[in-house]
Structures are given as structure tokens and as C-alpha cells.
């Protein structure tokens, strides 16, 4: 290992650094800067102290003027060194900054030790540059400073005493001490730097883990609430805040855990949950609770308490919350998926017998049946067609969703003329008279939609309206209009209000209040709309003072530049 490098604050050299940058890695140079300035201030104070002592000696005639000038120059050097930053990690032992600090100090102290009159002993001052080099510099600089100081002391001993005399012994003992200071200070500094790097590494990993946990908790659909032993919330994730009645504007705000916790603590749902916790200390298992919401409604949640022991006297309770309504919806979706697979299998089995029945009915029609037989055969054909359409709907619903890349032959349609043509065909089969009224107010709207698919969507909506609307004039209304970006086609009827249980599952497969309906019409209509980036939604709307239900198709307008 090269001793010219600066190993004091290098986590990798200590075996503790990761191979990728840590979040706090940019702060790694901060402790050396602070330590450098602290030691350089001590150096300035040492120089000022020497200057003050030499000034007193010069005043009393015990020190020459050149010694006083040397101390004054030393003060200037220390101030210049203080104004500079610490050396780079790769700075060698003869770098300019070390020359202005360690080597300049050794030169001044050597001059004072060898040339200063008055018999003053400056030997203790040699500890300072050795200590400065050991704490802030590479080990070779500290050993070099100790060696230079020892050579100065040995040279002084050779000038004043014979070999083996007391001066030589004093120089040897002092030199040994300088080497000991260099080695011990460098070792302790390296250990402290390694421990500081390990602490920063651990802190960075803890911050990273905290951030990962926070992101995971924010993305969970399950609620997480952490409480203290007294039942006060200490952490709440957004899902739990929503379950307990906190508004979306606060939940969606930038991260402010304290504000979210405070908002949850003031909700009636939390008051009820906290009361339940205090009446059942440290509950276990799973519990279904009904909690009040600020708007007067109630929410059913499933609570799973977990006790977390954080150490002596520190206990936290972690509550896992699940919205039972959302849980039931997921279960319902899974049941629908299973039902769809079973229905598709059944539909395949039904298709062949239906074809045989239709063929047999056609053959009987050729035998010149009586009027009664003809009515029965007509009834058979009508029911066969209805069952065949139901089978087709079930099979189409069981297919994979369409991708954006495969949209079929979608042409550009003029909306109003197309709707008018479909209405004429539909009315030819189901005359309505004054019961159906139209208001086509998008004469220039052009939309990209396959004609057969849009026809099927409109016919589905008209069939539903015909099935549920009253017989009064204006009971069904077909309207079109457009805005800057979309064309809107709506089919309104004065049908009775749709109940909440059905309204929540209106566009799901097999959801229908009519016993003779497959419950797939609205589901397939929405699927067809989504294929062309259109939407289909239900509105409670009023026409001519009568309340009813409107199903609205919103289609993006086709721009003239589109092919």
C-alpha cells in the first residue's frame, strides 16, 4: 500500500466501503476539513505564544532580534497555512502544503534549538510537527518528521557533548519518543477514521433502508399504522390514511409524515380504533371492525395487530389494515374470472347442439308445416338466435384483451350520418314511434372506429334502453355532440334508477338485472370502446324534467392529418 495516499478517511482501504456510491459519500471530506482547521488554529496559537515569549526575552535582552524576526515570520506562515485548505488525498510528502506546515515547523524549531542563544530547550516543540503529520498526513510523512527531528537533536548533541554523553542520551530518548508518537498517533487516527467511515457507511445503509421501506409502505394497498404503547399513532402510510377517512388532497401531498399522522389522529375512525386497542391490550389474530368516517358513512376493515419489541421499555404495535370492500371486490373479480373460463367451456359445448337445432328447424320449414307448426318453428328459431348470440358474447368475453398494435380495419366515420343509418336499421326491426327521439348535433365530427364495432355498441345501448324504458313519448333519446377533442354519443332512457349493488358492477361480465340477458352487453361494449381509445360510462341524467340513465360513449376526434 502506498503511504503517499491519504488513508485516514478512505472506507475502501479500511475494508468497509461498498463498490457503489453511497447517499452520503459526498460528506466524506467534511471531518478532515474540520480537523485540519482545528489543528491549524492550534498551530497559530503556538506561533503566537512563541512570539510572545521571545518578545519578552528580547525586551529583557535575553533574545537576539533575528530570533524575534524568525518567530514573527513563523506566525505569518501559520496564518497563510490556515487560509489554505487541506492537502488532497494523493498529495506526496513534499507537496507545497506540507512544506508550509510540517517541514516549515521543523525548520523553525531546528533553528531555534541549534542557533537560539540563552540555553533555552525547544525539544518539546518537535512533537508538534510529528503529531500534525501523523494525524493529517500519510504515515511516511509522520515517520519522516520524526526522523528529521531526531537528526536535529542528535546534531545538537554532537555539537555540545562528546559521544555517549548526557546530551546524546537525551537526544536518543527524545527521538524514540518522536517515533512512538508518530506510530501511535497514525495508528489511532487510522482506527478512528475507519470507525468514522464505518459509521457513515452504516448510516448511509440505514438511510437507504429507511427510504426503501418508505417507498414500499407508500405503494402498498394494505394500510400500515404504527402506534406506541399508549395507543397514539406514530406512523401511517397513505393507504391506511385513506381507509381512516383522511382526504386525498392531504394523502397526495408531498411527504409530510407528521401532518399525515396528525390528520389520522383526529379522525373518528382512529378514535374508534384507538378505543378498541385500549379495551383489548395486545390483541392477536384477525379482527373485522366497522369504523365511522367523517362524512357519516362507515367502512369495514380487517385489522391484524403485530407487537414489535424494540428493546427494554420500548414497545410498538403495528396494525395491518385491509379494506373489506376492496378485498371482497378482488375475490369477486377472481370468481368472475373463474366463471368466465367455465362459461367459455360450456359455450363451446352448446354451440354444436344449437347448430343442429337450427338446421333441423330449417329442414322442418321446408315440409310445408301448418300455421301452428310454423309458429312453433319461428319460436324455436328466435330462441336459437338468442342463445347463439349469448354463446358468441360469452366466447368473445373469454378472449384475450385486444392490443393497441392490432385494432382491425378501423376507418374514419362521420358520426352523425353513421348514427342515423344505424337508427334506421334498428327502427325497421323495432319500431318505436314517438317513444324514441334524436338530437344529432355533431355534423362535422369524424371518429376512428370500426363501423361494425360501433354499430354493435350502439345497438347494445339501444336494446338496453328499449328493454328498461317506459312506453311514453320521449322515453328514449339518442344524442350526439362534440367538443375540442372528443365526440360524444349518448343513449338516454327514463328507466328506473340503477341500485348501488348493480351500479358498482355495471360494466363487469354477467352483471344484469334482467333474467333474459347474458349480462355481457355493457362489458363487451366497453371493451370495444377501449380498443379505439374511447370510453363508455354511465350517468344519472335528466331530460325534459324526467330523471333517467344515460350511457355515454366518448371518442377522440380524428384529425384531418390522420390517414
Q: Please, which pLDDT band fits residue 382 given cuts at 50, 70 and 90?
A: confident
- Closest CA relative to residue 319, chosen from 206, 257, 372, 241: 241
Query: How far apart are the C-alpha atoms of 99 and 265, rounded to whole Å?
Result: 64
Q: Which three cell numbers stand for residue 364?
A: 322442418
Helix (H) or strand (E) holding 434: none
pLDDT, mean over the chain: 78
pLDDT digits (tens, 9 = 90+) for 108-157: 888 877 776 656 677 788 888 888 888 887 888 888 888 888 888 888 77
**More confident of the two residues 126 and 61:** 126
Query: How far apart are the C-alpha atoms of 337 and 328, rounded to whole Å?
Result: 14
Query: How far apart are the C-alpha atoms of 232 and 273, rounded to whole Å?
Result: 11
pLDDT digits (tens, 9 = 90+) for 228-240: 767 788 888 888 8
Q: What is the pLDDT of residue 473?
A: 92
Helix (H) or strand (E) holding 552: strand 546-556
Work out the average pLDDT over 32-53.
81
CB 3 within 8 A of CB 188: no
Q: For residue 399, which phi and psi values (nearest 5 degrees)?
A: -70, 165
Q: What is the pLDDT of residue 470?
A: 92
Q: What is the pLDDT of residue 315?
A: 66
Fold (CATH) for 411-556: Heat Shock Protein 90 (3.30.565)
What distances in angstroms separate CA 476 from CA 195, 274, 350, 423, one per listed residue?
80, 53, 35, 12
Query: How far apart are the C-alpha atoms of 480 and 419, rounded to whole Å?
Result: 9
Return the number of other C-beta atoms located less than 10 Å from residue 532's C-beta.
21
pLDDT digits (tens, 9 = 90+) for 462-515: 988 998 899 999 999 999 999 988 999 999 999 888 876 666 667 776 555 554
Report helix, strand or coil for 470.
Answer: coil
- Closest CA relative to residue 105, chosen from 158, 42, 58: 42
- Closest CA relative to residue 123, chosen from 76, 174, 77: 174
What distances in angstroms separate CA 475 from CA 80, 96, 424, 499, 514, one per listed residue?
95, 96, 18, 20, 19
Q: What is the pLDDT of residue 164?
A: 66
Query: How far apart are the C-alpha atoms of 160 and 154, rounded to whole Å?
Result: 10
- Closest CA relative to residue 175, chosen from 140, 150, 143: 150
Work out the average pLDDT over 512-530.
69
Query: How far apart are the C-alpha atoms of 249 and 235, rounded to whole Å?
Result: 18
Q: What is the CA radius of gyration of the chain?
A: 45
Domain 221-326 classified CATH 3.40.950.10?
no
- Closest CA relative to residue 109, chosen from 54, 34, 65, 168: 54
Work out the average pLDDT over 164-169.
76
- Closest CA relative to residue 480, chosen from 450, 438, 534: 438
3-state SS, 285-320, equals: CCEEEEEECCCCCEEEEEEEEEEEEEECCEEEEEEE
Who contacts 206 (Cβ-Cβ below 8 Å, separation ≥6)? none
Q: Which three cell numbers stand for residue 133?
A: 503529520
Of the candidate ranges 2-11, 16-25, 183-192, 517-526, the one whose mean pLDDT is the lowest: 16-25
3-state SS, 348-417, equals: HHHHHHHHHHHHHHHHHHCCCCCHHHHHHHHHHHHHHHHHHHHHHHHHHHHCCCCCCCCCCCCEEEEHHH
Q: pTM, whole model, 2 decimals?
A: 0.45
CB 391 within 8 A of CB 350: yes
Query: How far apart are the C-alpha atoms of 277 and 233, rounded to whole Å?
Result: 12
Q: What is the pLDDT of residue 314?
A: 65
Amino acid at each position: 500500500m502506498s503511504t503517499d495516499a491519504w488513508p485516514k478517511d478512505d472506507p475502501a482501504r479500511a475494508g468497509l466501503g461498498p463498490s457503489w456510491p453511497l447517499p452520503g459519500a459526498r460528506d466524506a471530506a467534511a471531518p478532515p476539513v474540520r480537523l485540519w482547521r482545528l489543528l491549524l488554529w492550534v498551530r497559530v496559537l503556538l506561533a503566537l505564544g512563541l512570539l510572545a515569549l521571545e518578545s519578552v526575552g528580547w525586551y529583557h535582552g535575553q533574545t537576539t532580534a533575528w530570533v524575534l524576526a524568525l518567530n514573527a515570520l513563523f506566525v505569518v506562515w501559520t496564518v497563510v497555512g490556515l487560509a489554505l485548505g487541506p492537502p488532497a488525498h494523493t498529495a506526496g510528502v513534499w507537496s507545497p502544503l506540507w512544506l508550509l506546515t510540517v517541514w516549515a515547523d521543523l525548520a523553525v524549531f531546528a533553528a531555534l534549538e541549534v542557533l537560539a542563544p540563552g540555553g533555552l530547550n525547544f525539544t518539546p516543540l518537535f512533537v508538534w510537527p510529528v503529531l500534525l503529520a501523523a494525524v493529517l498526513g500519510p504515515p511516511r510523512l509522520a515517520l519522516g518528521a520524526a526522523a528529521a527531528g531526531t537528526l536535529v537533536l542528535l546534531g545538537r548533541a554532537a555539537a555540545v557533548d562528546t559521544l555517549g554523553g548526557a546530551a546524546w542520551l537525551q537526544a536518543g530518548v527524545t527521538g524514540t519518543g518522536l517515533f512512538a508518537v508518530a506510530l501511535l498517533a497514525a495508528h489511532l487516527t487510522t482506527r478512528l477514521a475507519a470507525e468514522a467511515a464505518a459509521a457513515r457507511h452504516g448510516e448511509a445503509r440505514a438511510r437507504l433502508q429507511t427510504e426503501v421501506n418508505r417507498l414500499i409502505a407508500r405503494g402498498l394497498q394494505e394500510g400500515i399504522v404504527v402506534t406506541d404503547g399508549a395507543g397514539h399513532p406514530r406512523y401511517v402510510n397513505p393507504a391506511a390514511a385513506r381507509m381512516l377517512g383522511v382526504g386525498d388532497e392531504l394523502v397526495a401531498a408531498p411527504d409530510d409524515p407528521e401532518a399525515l399522522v396528525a390528520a389520522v389522529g383526529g379522525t373518528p375512525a382512529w378514535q374508534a380504533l384507538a378505543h378498541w386497542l385500549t379495551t383489548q391490550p395486545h390483541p392477536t389474530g384477525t379482527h373485522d371492525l366497522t369504523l365511522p368516517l367523517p362524512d357519516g358513512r362507515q367502512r369495514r376493515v380487517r385489522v391484524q395487530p403485530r407487537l414489535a419489541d424494540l428493546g427494554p421499555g420500548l414497545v410498538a404495535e403495528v396494525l395491518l389494515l385491509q379494506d373489506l370492500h376492496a378485498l371482497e371486490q378482488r375475490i369477486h373479480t377472481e370468481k368472475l374470472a373463474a366463471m368466465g373460463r367455465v362459461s367459455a367451456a360450456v359455450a363451446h359445448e352448446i354451440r354444436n347442439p344449437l347448430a343442429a337445432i337450427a338446421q333441423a328447424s330449417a329442414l322442418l320449414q321446408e315440409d310445408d308445416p301448418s300455421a301452428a307448426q310454423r309458429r312453433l318453428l319461428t319460436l324455436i328459431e328466435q330462441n336459437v338466435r338468442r342463445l347463439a348470440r349469448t354463446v358468441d358474447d360469452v366466447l368473445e368475453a373469454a378472449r384475450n384483451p385486444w392490443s393497441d398494435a392490432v385494432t382491425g380495419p378501423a376507418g374514419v366515420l362521420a358520426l352523425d350520418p353513421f348514427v342515423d343509418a344505424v337508427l334506421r336499421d334498428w327502427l325497421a326491426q323495432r319500431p318505436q314511434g314517438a317513444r324514441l327521439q334524436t338530437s344529432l348535433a355533431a355534423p362535422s365530427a369524424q371518429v376512428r372506429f370500426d363501423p361494425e364495432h360501433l354499430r354493435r355498441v350502439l345497438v347494445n345501448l339501444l336494446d338496453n334502453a328499449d328493454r328498461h324504458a317506459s312506453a311514453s313519448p320521449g322515453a328514449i333519446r339518442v344524442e350526439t355532440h362534440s367538443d375540442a377533442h372528443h365526440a360524444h354519443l349518448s343513449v338516454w332512457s327514463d328507466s328506473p334508477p340503477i341500485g348501488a349493488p348493480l351500479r358498482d358492477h355495471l360494466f363487469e361480465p354477467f352483471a344484469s338485472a334482467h333474467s333474459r340477458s347474458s349480462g355481457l352487453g355493457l362489458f363487451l361494449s366497453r371493451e370495444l370502446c377501449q380498443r379505439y381509445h374511447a370510453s363508455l360510462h354511465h350517468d344519472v341524467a335528466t331530460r325534459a324534467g324526467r330523471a333517467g340513465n344515460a350511457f355515454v360513449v366518448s371518442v377522440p376526434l380524428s384529425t384531418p392529418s390522420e390517414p
